[in-house]
Amino acid sequence: MTNTTHAEPRRTPTNWNDQAMQERIRGRYASERRFRLLGLFAVLLSAGFLAFLLVTMAANGARGFTQTEVRVEVDFAKSALFIDPAALEGFGADAALAGADIDGAVQTAVRAQYGESADGLLSDAAWLRVRDAILEDPALLNRSETFWLPARSGLDQAAKSDGSAADEQIYRQLDDQDSVRTGFNLGFLTGADATDPTVVGIWGAFKGSLFTMLVTLALAFPIGVLSAIYLEEYAPRNRWTDLIEVSINNLAAVPSIIFGLLGLAVFLNFMHLPRSAPLVGGITLALMTMPVIVIAGRNAIKSVPPSIRDAALGVGASRVQVVFHHVLPLALPGILTGTIIGMARALGETAPLLMIGMRAFIASPPGGFTEPATVLPVQIFLWSDEVSRGFVEKTSAAIIVLLAFLLAMNGLAIYLRNKFERRW
């Protein structure tokens, strides 16, 4: 050995202080720094996109929660409005009010107060608030009353210093007279869809989402948990089980719009279930959410150590008792975490619901599972199509509400995972 090494010419030892070597090392360290900065840049850019998105939505949306109101004094006694107070008792009230020209009375009052040019001061739906007030207290009809009514969309924008010059001027005039105010828009949280951006609300869509999610949860959770138990604990290794596993894994990766096509072809055209109903939307989303729950459930059940099962079997439990008395309770936190994440995804889903007709204009909140409804994400989509400037802030405000719910659900899932997760 030694002879052979000595026979070859001896390598000169690396001279680390050599100029060329120093430069090469510097170069390598510089490239190391560049690479590291590149990584940091990528992370910051990705996070920056998220921050930019959230800030854009928050900046646009915060204004959606406020609205501008104009003070209008309506003297019902002097107005041309004629409504028989007796008609306002009981069932005929709606018909009686629909027949009366409340809108005209309000317009007259506005003109009397702000001059002839003030026709376009109020939102088209402002008189509805007066109508509701009369309905609540028919005695109003005999006196004069001061109302704060929603301003026209353009004026509302002007109040938020984003309107046209003409609107800004009107707003300043009104502001000097102290007859305009901007406050929290309660109607946005309690109302339903409308054609006028100043009076739209998300309660209708929210209720639709709630009904849809209830159906989804009621179907996807039991089915998902039961299949997870079967596949993980009982299924024999054969072709059928493989088929079930393959279809569950594939279903988890199928684009959501395909589920919409399925819902349209099977539930609407074949089974003739009602269109636009939370029932159909819920079933469709349940088919989509189920694989997520199955996969999460299987992982949770798999992580329960076999010793638990052996011990239960050892003291004489049957195989069903082993699973339902011992394994399932221990796996439940993991299953719940997966379920909440799956439900959060279903809550934000839009495309399949468009397919089954949940994009209709629904002006009143749904009363049941089979009534036409829309859901929050679809409502956002519908509003985003509107050309009116006032809808931009409403869309962003609805997005803020949706994101808040998703954040809360994901936060709950993380909390559950941290609190109940067990390392065996």
Partner 1 sequence: MSLAALALLILGLGLIAWVAARAKAMSFGSTGQARQHSLPNYHGWYVALWAVLPALFFLTIWSSVSGGLVTQTVLESPAAASLPAMEMQRDAILDEARRLAEGRIDAAFNPEAEALAPIYAEATSFYSLIGSSIALLLAFAAGAFAFTRLSPTFRARTRVERLVMASLLIASLIAILTTLGIVLSLLFESLRFFSMVSPVEFLFGLNWSPQMAIRADQAGSSGAFGAIPLFWGTIFIGAIIAMIVAIPLGLMSAIYLTQYASGRVRAWMKPALEMLAGVPTVVYGYFAALTVAPAIRDFAVTIGIPGASSESALAAGLVMGIMIIPFVSSMADDSIAAVPQAMRDGSLAMGATTSETIRRVLVPAALPGVVGGVLLAVSRAIGETMIVVMAAGLAANLTANPFQSVTTVTTQIVQLLTGDQEFDSAKTLAAFALGLVLFIITLLLNIVALRVVKKYREAYD
Nearer to partner 1, 210 or 223 (CB): 223
Single residue of 87, 403, 412, 416 touching partner 1 by CB under 8 A:
403
Nearer to partner 1, 143 or 319 (CB): 319
Residue 264 makes contact with partner 1 by CB under 8 A: yes
Single residue of 320, 363, 404, 408 touching partner 1 by CB under 8 A:
320
Residue 102 makes contact with partner 1 by CB under 8 A: no
The residue written with tokens 């992370």 in the block is 43
Residue 215 makes contact with partner 1 by CB under 8 A: no
Q: How far apart are CA 164 and CA 171, in angstroms?
A: 11
Q: Which of 118, 58, 9, 87 is nearest to 393 (CA)?
A: 58
Residue 106 makes contact with partner 1 by CB under 8 A: no
Nearer to partner 1, 45 or 80 (CB): 45
Query: Minimum distance between the CB of residue 344 and partner 1, rounded to whole angstroms?
Result: 7
Within 29-88, which residues bind partner 1 (CB under 8 A)?
Answer: 29, 31-32, 35-36, 38-43, 45-47, 49-50, 53, 56-57, 60
| Contact predicate 204/366, CB 8 Å | yes
Query: Minimum distance between the CB of residue 368 and partner 1, rounded to whole angstroms?
Result: 11
The residue written with tokens 């638990």 in the block is 308
Which two three-digit tokens encode residue 374?
Answer: 């829309």
- Contact range with partner 1 by CB under 8 A, out of 104-112, 125-133, 257-265, 363-371: 257-265
Residue 399 makes contact with partner 1 by CB under 8 A: yes
Burial class (CB in 10 A: 0-12, 13-18, 19+), 30: exposed
Q: How far apart are CA 323 and CA 230, in angstroms?
A: 10
Query: Minimum distance between the CB of residue 298 and partner 1, rounded to whole angstroms?
Result: 11
Bridge partner list, 71: 148
Query: Minimum distance between the CB of residue 314 and partner 1, rounded to whole angstroms?
Result: 18
Within 157-196, which residues bind partner 1 (CB under 8 A)?
Answer: none
- Contact range with partner 1 by CB under 8 A, out of 68-76, 150-158, 161-169, 400-408: 400-408
Within 227-246, which residues bind partner 1 (CB under 8 A)?
Answer: 227, 229-231, 234-235, 243-244
Cα dihedral sign, 285-291-292-298: positive
Single residue of 24, 28, 143, 325 touching partner 1 by CB under 8 A:
28
Residue 298 makes contact with partner 1 by CB under 8 A: no
Q: How far apart are CA 126 and CA 109, in angstroms?
A: 13
Which two three-digit tokens encode residue 280?
Answer: 């159909």
Nearer to partner 1, 108 or 384 (CB): 384
DSSP state for residue 9 in the 8-state scheme: P
Q: Side by side, which strands form the sheet with 144-150?
A: 144-150, 66-75, 180-184
**Cα 357 to the center of its chain, rounded Å:** 18
Q: How far apart are CA 5 and CA 17, in angstroms?
A: 26
Which two three-digit tokens encode residue 28?
Answer: 């390598």
Nearer to partner 1, 102 or 378 (CB): 378
